[in-house]
């Protein structure tokens, strides 16, 4: 199986030893604690699950600035975005503290942190990092708005993760750690695995894109890997998305070719940089390939349609990742050919030759109980989404 990023073995930060974890939970109640923000909590969950291997905790300011600027730490470890714990709370360097979960009622302990450094972050440094990560400082960009509001004190140091927040309880059939995904890939006997990233339900174009990638690459299976954390307003909730994807796979994919899983992270909407982060943690999951399509992890008009592909050619150093990218074009149903194709493979087509619907148009149809054409969305998937949108109006 493909090696994890940056080490020979995956090193998840979750304390799997039950006795040790319970002892740490008891200790945490005696420690000073801070309520972290959702971004820091999501980073802890990802560190706990091995997704951010080989990191041992939150980055210090020098590493965060270096990663933002050059996509590597001061010591040269390739990493595409800073993994930080920024706060406005008062913390002492050298202390051992409990990190409390902002997303679970009662704010239980999420992790214990040994605080190696407490560093003030200037507005200029925040802006520098935000511009490098998101390629914009526009406050209307949801990722920029979140990042610039996280706090001006950066806490760095190793953590021991004691909980996977709400993800295991809310998504018991879907949430998986990188450790669990690696184990399942091994149990399947799969060697070559392509990952498909999604924060949305999957329509016919997405479904066929997965098939195309599996056939073109000759993979043993596909990992459909959905984000389960916080999204921007208007995005479809994870439980609805999960149900629609499961129905599609159940009806339209051969048995034992698809793993449906999810991960506990808040969407960054960082376009190219987030695509590279997706590649890092899919390698940690054991995948050999990642589908990167048009406007991957983008939002609005902040990124060019294929910037998330070109960053791998232009900015990711050769050999930095073992995982390879499957570059996809926009896919749609061709009326001429009677099947879904990548637009680049149909140069003789005009836009009118494809079944193309905007997200707004689809939402309006579903909200009125009108199913999109079957060339666009499977009727069984459309029914789940229609029920959801109609429930919003009640």
The per-residue DSSP string of 55-121 comes to: --EE--HHHHHHHHHHSB-TT--B-SS---EEESS---TT-EEEEEPTTSTT--EEEEEE--EEEE-
Percent of the chain clearing pLDDT 90 (strictly above): 91
Domain range for 60: 18-168
Residue 11 in domain: no
Based on the fold, state whether residues 148 and 231 are members of the same structural domain: no
The per-residue pLDDT for 100 is 98
Element spanning 327, H or E: strand 324-327
What pLDDT was estimated at residue 182? 98
Q: Are strands 331-334 and 324-327 parallel, antiparallel or unpaired?
A: unpaired
Instruction: Evaluate whether residue 132 is within a structural domain.
Output: yes
Cα–Cα distance measured from residue 320 to residue 314, given in angstroms and rounded to the nearest whole number: 13
Same domain membership, residue 321 and residue 235? yes
* DSSP, res 301: T
Domain count, the chain: 2
Residues 183 and 297 in one domain: yes
Give pLDDT, residue 363: 83
Mean pLDDT of 152-172: 97
- Check whether residue 155 and residue 178 sit in a common domain: no
Among 168, 197, 222, where does a domain finish?
Answer: 168
Name 377's Cβ contacts closer than 8 Å, sequence gap at least 6: 203, 204, 362, 371, 385
Neighbouring C-beta atoms of residue 40, cutoff 10 Å = 27
Same domain, 211 and 301: yes
Same domain, 33 and 126: yes
Strand 221-227 to 258-263 pairing:
parallel
Q: What are the CA-CA distances from residue 205 to residues 123, 220, 333 (Å)?
A: 42, 21, 7
Both tokens of residue 181?
Answer: 């995904």
Q: Would you say residue 394 has pLDDT above 70?
A: no
pLDDT tens string 327-348 = 999 899 999 999 999 999 999 9
Distance set, CA 330 to CA 43, 159, 385 (Å)? 31, 41, 22
Q: Which of 123, 153, 168 is the last residue of a domain?
A: 168
CA distance 257 to 5: 25
| pLDDT 10s digits, 45-83 | 999 999 999 999 999 999 999 999 999 999 999 999 999
| CATH number, position 365 | 3.40.50.620
- Which residues are identified as catalytic? 199-200
* 67 shares a domain with 187: no
**Residue 2 domain flag:** no
CA distance 253 to 247: 10
Residues 113 and 185 in one domain: no
Token pair for 132: 């490098």
Q: How far apart are CA 208 and CA 215, in angstroms?
A: 10
- Whether residues 156 and 187 share a domain: the answer is no
pLDDT digits (tens, 9 = 90+) for 137-149: 999 999 999 999 9
Do both 60 and 84 map to the same domain?
Answer: yes
Q: What is the mean pLDDT of the chain?
A: 95
Residue 5 resides in a domain: no
Dist. CA 120–CA 129, nearest whole Å: 14
Same domain, 152 and 225: no
Distance between CA atoms of residues 343 and 330, nearest Å: 6
Q: Are 114 and 191 in the same domain?
A: no
Residue 3 maps to a domain:
no
Final residue before a domain boundary, out of 146, 168, 190: 168
388 within a domain of the structure (yes/no): yes
Encoded tokens for 79: 């990493």
Is the pLDDT score of 232 beyond 80?
no
Pair of tokens at residue 37: 């923000």
Contact 37, 80 (CB under 8 A): no
Residue 10 lies in a domain: no
User: In CATH, what number is assigned to the domain containing residue 88?
Assistant: 3.10.400.10
Look at residue 78 and tell me if it is in a domain.
yes
Whether 179 contacts 49, CB under 8 Å: yes
């Amino acid at each position: 199986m493909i090696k994890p990023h940056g080490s020979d073995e995956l090193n998840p930060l979750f304390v799997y030893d039950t006795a040790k974890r319970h002892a740490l939970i008891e200790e945490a109640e005696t420690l000073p604690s801070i309520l972290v923000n959702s971004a820091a909590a999501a980073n802890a969950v990802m560190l706990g699950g091995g997704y951010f291997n080989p990191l041992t905790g939150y980055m210090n300011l020098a590493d965060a600035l270096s990663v933002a600027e050059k996509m590597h730490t001061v010591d040269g470890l390739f990493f595409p975005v800073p993994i930080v714990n920024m706060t406005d709370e008062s913390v002492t360097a050298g202390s051992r503290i409990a990190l409390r979960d902002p997303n679970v009622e009662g704010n239980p302990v999420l992790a214990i942190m040994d605080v190696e450094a407490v560093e003030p972050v200037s507005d200029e440094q925040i802006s520098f990092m935000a511009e490098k990560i998101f390629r914009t400082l526009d406050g209307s960009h949801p990722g920029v708005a979140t990042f610039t509001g996280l706090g001006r004190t950066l806490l760095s140091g190793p953590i021991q993760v004691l909980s996977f927040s709400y993800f295991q309880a809310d998504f018991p059939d879907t949430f998986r750690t990188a450790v669990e995904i690696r184990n399942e890939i091994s149990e399947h006997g799969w060697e070559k695995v392509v990952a498909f990233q999604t924060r949305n339900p999957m329509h016919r174009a997405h479904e066929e894109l997965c098939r195309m990638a599996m056939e073109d690459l000759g993979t043993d299976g596909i990992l459909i890997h959905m984000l389960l954390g916080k999204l921007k307003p208007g995005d479809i909730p994870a439980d609805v998305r999960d149900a629609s994807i499961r129905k599609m796979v159940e009806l339209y994919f051969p048995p034992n070719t698809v793993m449906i899983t999810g991960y506990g992270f808040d969407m960054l909407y960082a376009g190219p940089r987030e695509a590279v982060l997706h590649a890092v943690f899919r390698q940690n999951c054991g995948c050999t390939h990642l589908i990167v399509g048009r406007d991957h992890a983008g939002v609005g008009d902040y990124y060019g349609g294929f910037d998330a592909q070109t960053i791998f050619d232009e900015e990711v150093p050769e050999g930095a990742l073992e995982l390879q990218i499957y570059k996809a074009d926009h896919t749609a149903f061709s009326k001429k050919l009677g099947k879904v194709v990548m637009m680049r493979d149909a140069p003789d087509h005009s836009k009118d030759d494809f079944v193309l619907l905007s997200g707004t148009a689809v939402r309006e149809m579903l909200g009125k109980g009108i199913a999109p054409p079957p060339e666009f969305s499977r009727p069984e998937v459309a029914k789940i989404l229609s029920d959801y949108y109609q429930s919003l109006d009640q």
